[in-house]
Amino acid sequence: MDFKTRTKKLKSDIPAVFIALKKKETPIIAKVFAGITIGYALSPIDFIPDFIPILGLLDDLIILPVLIAITIKFIPKRILKQCRDESENLWKNGKPKKWYFAISIILIWILLIFLIIKLVIL
């Protein structure tokens, strides 16, 4: 599989993993890894910051596909196929309106800002 094909597959697997996270039939271990994967994909906080020249982007190119691959290993094939089919139709009617999934990331940022202010003041 060449790089372009893998990139396309990764782009379709991220929403499929997100959809699998919401299904009751998905095993708990897969949900844990799916939550970690989606959280890492959406979070602006990286293990290696993006402003560090090559390593910052390499971080996302390595960690995210590995997390997705691990998550997919735990999702049964039948459920994963359903989720991939659903993810293909996800963007047909425009962007999804479920903005409230960003609340956890916003809360983490607020907590970090609060802790930094607290450290600076003390």
| The pLDDT value given to residue 5 | 79
> Nearest Cα to 39, choosing from 14, 10, 6?
14
| C-alpha–C-alpha distance, residues 105 and 107, integer Å | 5
| C-alpha–C-alpha distance, residues 90 and 82, integer Å | 12
> Going by C-beta distance under 8 Å and a sequence separation of 6 or more, which residues neighbour residue 8?
none
Asked if residue 66 lies in contact with residue 89, where contact means CB atoms within 8 angstroms, the answer is no
The DSSP-derived string for 58-77 is: HHHHHHHHHHHHHHHHHS-H
| The pLDDT value given to residue 101 | 67
| The pLDDT value given to residue 78 | 93
| C-alpha–C-alpha distance, residues 20 and 40, integer Å | 16
Sequential pLDDT tens for the chain (122 residues): 676 777 677 777 878 888 888 889 899 999 888 888 777 777 777 777 777 777 777 777 788 888 888 988 999 999 989 988 888 877 676 666 666 667 777 888 888 888 888 888 86
| The pLDDT value given to residue 76 | 92
* Phi, psi (degrees; rounded to nearest 5) at 33: -65, -35
